Amino acid sequence: MNGNRFLLDTNAVVSLLNGLITDISQIRMAYKLKLPDAIIAATSIANNASLITADKGFDKVKQLTIVGF
């Protein structure tokens, strides 16, 4: 991998994470979720993605579109 491409990829990841940090924190506090679940919820919401899960703990996050199985 050339050095310039790595730098661009790294900046994209850092930028994405910086945008989610506030959302993750707010979701974690509002719904009393553990950090990994708050990260999953915030990422799903930010990407307008449905979350496929059997974990009923996500049901309380109203912004989520949940597909259960």
Q: Per residue in 37-69, pLDDT tens?
A: 999 999 999 989 999 999 999 999 999 999 987
- Stated pTM of the model: 0.74
Average pLDDT over residues 22-42: 95
Q: Taking CA 29 as the corner, what is the angle to CA 23 and CA 31, rounded to the nearest 5 degrees?
A: 95
Q: Per residue in 14-24, pLDDT tens?
A: 566 777 899 99
In DSSP terms, which residues pair with 66 in a beta bridge? Answer: 51
Q: Which amino acid is at 36?
A: P
pLDDT for position 2: 53
